[in-house]
């Protein structure tokens, strides 16, 4: 771990990645950060012992650049970086919808680019990071990217053509679960439970169910059937979910997220 890594536009995801790398053994002296506001940069220096720099300085001195800005800000950032990024510099993009070709066309010919979609469980080292190489990225570049993002969770390589679908499933995925937990907590209150008890019941049930999905090797249908006894409470609840089209709504929601990822790639902001 002797290479210098710079996290550009260090927001929540960038900070989560930064803290995970430190826990994974990266020396603070090898980590650079950039931030739009000077006070944010100083906050990161104080909290983690890393070095704040400008975007241009990061491009000149770091071996790996991790771009964590919003998709709408990527073009301006690449314009700023372009004069300073040499051909051998590894560039990793975490912006939804931004293709590797979009980045390659704006940087020096031959720059290796890798596209990654991670998610907010990086904050607790349980992220799902999906990795796709651009046209100049090598196996060593991919392995290095997996080493970085493996510090905050699991990684998976996919063809870039599948990135928009992965963004819809795992990039936005935690929000869907939070939404369901919010709705189920409200239901618990309606059924007469205090909010704190309803919250604890739902959260622990979600953790237990997720652990079973991960560790049992069983198909989710099988796990659901194990809870669903004939003429019981669960099948009545499932019937209502089907009657209200919850399955169809989830499919439509993920299609909408995928389509928005494609729109971001085309430059559409609104």
Measured distance CA(38)–CA(54) in Å, rounded: 10
Q: List pLDDT tens digits, range 144-199.
A: 999 999 999 999 999 999 999 999 999 999 999 999 999 999 999 999 999 999 99
Q: List pLDDT tens digits, range 63-91.
A: 999 999 988 899 999 999 999 999 889 99
Predicted local distance difference test score (pLDDT) of residue 3: 86
Helix (H, G, I), strand (E, B) or coil at 129: strand
Count of CB atoms situated within 10 Å of the CB of 134: 20
Measured distance CA(129)–CA(155) in Å, rounded: 5
How many residues does the structure list for the chain?
270
Structure tokens at 270: 């609104």
Q: At what angle do helices 220-227 and 195-216 cross, to 10 degrees?
A: 130
Residue 223 has pLDDT above 70, yes or no: yes
The phi and psi torsions of 185 (rounded to 5 degrees) equal: -65, -45
Predicted local distance difference test score (pLDDT) of residue 262: 87
Residue 246 has pLDDT above 70, yes or no: yes
Q: How far is CA 95 from CA 49, 61, 68, 106, 252, in A?
A: 26, 22, 6, 15, 23
With tokens 């909290």, the residue in question is 47
Contact between 30 and 91 (Cβ < 8 Å): no
Q: Where does 131-232 have alpha helices with state H?
A: 139-149, 163-166, 173-190, 195-216, 220-227
* Mean pLDDT score across all residues of the chain: 94
The model carries a pTM of 0.90
Q: How far is CA 190 from CA 177, 203, 236, 256, in A?
A: 20, 17, 18, 30
Structure tokens at 137: 């990225």
**What is the CA 19 to chain-centroid distance, rounded?**
15
Find the mean pLDDT for residues 242-266.
92
Q: How far is CA 67 from CA 52, 85, 202, 220, in A?
A: 15, 13, 36, 36
Find the mean pLDDT for residues 96-124.
94
Contact between 50 and 44 (Cβ < 8 Å): yes
Predicted local distance difference test score (pLDDT) of residue 266: 73
| Helix, strand, coil abundance in the chain, percent, nearest 5 | 60, 15, 25
Confidence of residue 1 (pLDDT cuts 50, 70, 90): very low
Measured distance CA(74)–CA(93) in Å, rounded: 9
């Amino acid at each position: 771990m002797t290479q210098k890594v710079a996290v550009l536009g260090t927001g929540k995801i960038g900070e989560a990645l930064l803290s995970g790398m430190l826990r994974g053994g990266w020396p603070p002296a090898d980590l650079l950060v950039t931030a739009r506001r000077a006070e944010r940069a100083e906050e990161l220096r104080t909290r983690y012992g890393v070095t704040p720099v400008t975007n241009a300085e990061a491009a000149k001195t770091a071996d790996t650049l991790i771009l964590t800005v919003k998709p709408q800000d990527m073009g301006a950032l690449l314009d700023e970086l372009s004069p300073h990024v040499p051909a051998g510099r590894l560039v990793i993009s975490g912006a939804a919808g931004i293709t590797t070709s979009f980045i390659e066309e704006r940087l020096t010919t031959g720059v290796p680019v890798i596209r990654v979609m991670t998610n907010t469980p990086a904050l607790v080292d349980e992220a799902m990071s999906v990795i796709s190489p651009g046209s100049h990225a090598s196996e060593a570049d991919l392995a290095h990217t997996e080493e970085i993002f493996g510090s905050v969770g699991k990684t998976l390589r996919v063809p870039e053509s599948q990135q928009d679908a992965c963004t819809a499933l795992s990039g936005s995925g935690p929000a869907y679960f939070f939404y369901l937990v919010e709705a189920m907590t409200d239901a618990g209150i309606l059924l007469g439970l205090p909010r704190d008890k309803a919250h604890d019941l739902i959260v622990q049930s979600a953790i237990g169910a997720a652990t079973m999905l991960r560790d049992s090797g069983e198909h989710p249908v099988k796990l659901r059937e194990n809870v669903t006894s004939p003429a019981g409470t669960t099948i009545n609840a499932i019937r209502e979910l089907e009657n209200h089209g919850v399955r169809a709504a989830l499919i439509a929601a993920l299609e909408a997220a995928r389509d928005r990822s494609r729109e971001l790639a085309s430059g559409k902001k609104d």
